[in-house]
Structure 1
Amino acid sequence: MNLLNKLFHRNRNPSDKQNTQRVEVMNGSPPIFTPFSGDAYSNDLYRSAVDSIAKNFSKLIPSHVIMNGEQRKDGDSVLNYILQSRPNPYMSTFDFLYKVSTHYFLYNNAFAYLSFDDKGSLEAIYPLSPLQVEFLTDATGALYCKFLFSRGKTFIFRYDDVMVLRRFYNSNDLLGDDNRAIMPTLDLAHTQNQGMENSIKNSAQIRGLLKYNQVLSGEKLKESKEAFINDYLSIENNGGIAALDTKMDYQPIENKPVFINGQQLNEIKNRIYSYLGVSENIVNCTYSEDEWSAFYESTIEPLATQMGQELTNKLFTQREQSFGNSIMLESDKLQFTSNSTKVTALKELMPLGLLTINQALKILNLPGIENGDTRYQTLNVADTDIVNQYQMKGGNNNAGEQGNQVSRNQDGQGTGQQE
């Protein structure tokens, strides 16, 4: 049994393959995915940018959570182990997220197979690298994905068993658009690299013509040329002067290779980075807190939201979702801020009782302590209900005191009148 057959031993094919047909979409474009990239991953700029995104996306923590109003609690421990530790026997969570996000930004479509056991519980998630994907439907209207792998291996899965992530989701109803828009820029970047390489090679090309005023045999001509080079064009010729008689004339050839200026290089680099939603500082790991926050919110967080919603819909029924079951991919953004920002945040949050001691230590990249899961807060902060009760009690006392004062005044006035 090969690896594909082992992975997909519960291959859920439609009951009657003869009755399946290609899905007809509204815009008329064929629902077929082919990972066309124009070999974009071989471009160093494109690859480094995708690698930076994938590495940062892989830091996220996918979790099954149950929301009950504003209350949140952890979900199924087995499911969380699969999501957070070992999505499948061959990958860690980091590897899984890295591969999925790489496919997402390289092909604008990413697929993963959700393998369920006989009881319907998730047992593994496998990212897929197909040569082609075709969407099919049967007589009942159920949707299927037909995957073609290398060596002609074909598997058909229910659409509900496949995680599908799309980028540039525009012209096709079921797939994201390809990367043809960036290919001219990648071709130009390749031309630049070739131009610089050729410019370096030009230094070894012909630098002059040596014309003899007499007829020489081929062997004598070659010997005379080598002697001229050794005497006058070698590094040992410190004077830089050649002495010639009437037997020969030397005519230098001026080579002026065309170099691409730095502004043009930066322009192409920025176009590639902008296409992928990343900046040069992110790629070079020289970003500031504001740059990291902008990158996270514009590039990492949208993919995390999309993946969380897709897994939620594929792993839980509508009823289960109504009870608050969902998959979330989260990151502690304070972990990527400076120490001064962390300390400032802790000074503001700890007095309010929003963090436990161990949570604060984790933000500072320090190990937890025993009994560190308790929350402490300053006495200057009170519960809203307690404050309301205190104010109401104080108001009644003030009213009573005013009433007593009025009564005393009245009694005093009465006493004075009687007197």
Structure 2
Amino acid sequence: MNILDKLFNRNKSPANKSNIQRIDVMNGSPPIFTPFSGDAYSNDLYRSGVDAIAKNFAKLVPTHVITQSGQRKDGDSTLNYILQTRPNPYMNTYDFLYKMATHYFLYNNSFAYLSLDGKGNLSGIYPLSPLSMEFVIDVTGTLYCKFLFLKGREFIVEYSQVVLLRRFYNSNDLLGDDNKAIMPTLDLAHTQNQGMENSIKTSAQIRGLLKYNQVLSSEKLKEAKEDFIKDYLSIENNGGIAALDTKMDYQPIENKPVLINGQQLDAIKNRIYSYLGVSESIINCTYTEDEWSAFYESTIEPLSTQMSLELTGKLFTQREQSFGNSILLESDKLQFTSNTTKITALKELMPLGLLTINQALEILNLPGIEDGDRRLQTLNVADTNIVNKYQMGGKNPDEGNQNSTDKD
């Protein structure tokens, strides 16, 4: 049995596929996805930008949490194992998140299938790479995704089991727009690469006209040319001098290749990186703390928010969400700061009791210790209620206010 057959063996497909029809949308073209990228991934600048985003996004930790009355606790351990360690038998969480982010920036639509067991619980999450996908509905109005894979394999899955991340969500009601806007820039970058290659090849060649002052047959002319090239235009001719008699004249052809200046190269590079929302310092890993913070908040965080909302909405019912169930993709931002900033933050936060000992050690990339979940707090910081009682001499502040009101 094919992997796809095993994957979709429990999907909620319509009982009668002949009754499904393509959904109508109010705006945009029909909601049909085809992963055309104009071969953008073959461009080294585009690929390096996508890779920088994807590998940083893949560091996030998806977690099922339950938040009630402002108090947060970890949720189901089995679900967290799938989310944080092994989304499916074929990849770990890093691979899964990396692939989702890569598809997101290549195709502006990224799909994942939520596989459920017989009891309706999540058993795996699989990123999908379909040849095409279109939205369809059945007679009851239920929305489905109709996927087409290699070898003509077709699967229809209920939309509630599909995670869909959309970029440039504008003209179409159900899908993100394509990458046509960046294709002229990628074509220009390709032309630049070809121009540089041809310039190097051209500059390495010596061209000229060899004129003989006597009539020679075609065979003799060709032989004389080969001898001239061998004697004077080969790399063995270190002196660069050609000795000629009256039998021939050599006239070199001056060839000035058109070179591309650095400003033109940087302009194309910056346009591609700006389109992706990444800077060269992020790609080269030479970023400062402020540059990393700007990149995280403008590029990584919006994508993590989108995936968090999708997973929460698809894995939990409205009632379960009302009880505080959600999926969060989080990262410890302090892990990417300098040691000086980390130490400064710990000096400010630890006296307030905001961090446990193990949380502080984790920020410093150190292993935790036994009984390290305790919170330490300086005696210089007291609870507000205790301060009020101290100032009132042990009296209830409300009673004091009441007495002053009665006297008035």
TM-score (norm 1): 0.92
Q: Residue 344 in 1 paired to residue 344 in 2? A: yes
Change in 2 beyond 3 A, CA 1:326/1:209: same
1:33-61 C-alpha deviation (Å, 9 max, x unpaired): 00110000000110111001000000000
Look up the SS of the partner of 2:392 in the other structure: helix
Q: Secondary structure at the match of 2:18?
A: helix
1:301-329 Cα shifts (integer Å, max 9, x gaps): 00000000011000111111111100000
- Contact 2:82–2:124 under 8 Å retained in 1: yes
- Partners of 1:359 and 1:250 in 2: CA distance: 79
What SS does structure 2 have at the residue aligned with 1:393?
coil
Equivalent position of 1:207 in the other structure: 207
Query: 1:239 offset after TM fit, Å?
Result: 4.3
Q: Does 1:107 align with 2:107?
A: yes
Residues 137-177 of structure 1: per-residue CA shift (max 9 Å, x gap): 11111100000001100000001010011000000000000
Aligned match of 2:124: 124
Counting only pairs closer than 5 Å after superposition, residues 66-145 of structure 1 correspond to structure 2 as 66-145=66-145
In the other structure, the counterpart of 2:167 is 167
Q: How much does 1:213 deviate?
A: 1.1
Structure 1 residue 247 displacement after superposition: 1.3
CA distance in 1, matches of 2:332, 2:122: 26
1:293 aligns with 2:288: no
Amino acid at match of 2:389: Q
Summarize the Cα distance change of 1:28–1:356 in structure 2 as closer, same or farther, 3 Å threshold.
closer
**1:234 offset after TM fit, Å?**
3.5
Tell me by how many angstroms 1:240 deviates: 3.5
Please report how far the alpha carbon of residue 6 of structure 1 lies from its aligned counterpart in structure 2 after TM superposition: 1.3
**Is it true that 1:24 corresponds to 2:19 in the alignment?**
no
Match of 2:191 in 1: 191
CA distance in 2, matches of 1:101, 1:160: 21
Query: In the alignment, what sits opposite 1:369?
Result: 369
Larger mean CA deviation between 195-204 and 346-355 belongs to: 195-204
- TM-score, with structure 2 as normaliser: 0.95
Paired residues in the alignment total: 398
CA distance in 2, matches of 1:43, 1:28: 29
Structure 1: how far apart are the matches of 2:363 and 2:115? 35
Question: RMSD value over aligned CA atoms?
Answer: 1.6
Q: Decide whether aligned partners of structure 1 residues 287 and 251 sit closer, same or farther in structure 2, where only a CA change above 3 A counts.
A: same
Listed as ranges, the gaps of 5+ residues in structure 2 are 401-408
1:205 Cα deviation from its structure 2 partner: 4.3
- Structure 1 residues 218 and 203 mapped into 2: Cα distance closer, same or farther (>3 Å)? farther
Partner in structure 2 of residue 258 of structure 1: 258
Q: CA deviation at 1:225?
A: 2.0
Alpha-carbon distance in structure 1 between the residues aligned to 2:396 and 2:9: 75
Return the offset for 1:204.
4.8
Per-residue displacement from partner, 1:238-275 (whole Å, max 9, x unpaired)?
54433322211111101111111111001000000000
> Do structure 1's residue 35 and structure 2's residue 27 form an aligned pair?
no
Aligned partner of 2:327 in structure 1 is: 327
Do the aligned partners of 2:389 and 2:395 also contact (CA within 8 Å) in 1? no
204-213 or 162-171, which moves further after superposition? 204-213
CA distance in 1: counterparts of 2:329 and 2:239, whole angstroms:
70
Name the % identity. Answer: 81
- The runs of 5 or more residues in structure 1 that have no matched partner are 401-419
- CA distance in 1 between partners of 2:158 and 2:128 (Å): 14
Equivalent AA in structure 1 for residue 220 of structure 2 = K
What letter matches 1:384 in structure 2?
Answer: T
Amino acid corresponding to residue 196 of structure 1 in structure 2: M
Per the TM alignment, residue 385 of structure 1 is displaced from its structure 2 partner at its CA by: 1.2
Residue type at the aligned position of 2:163: M
Return the index of the structure with the highest Cα Rg: 1
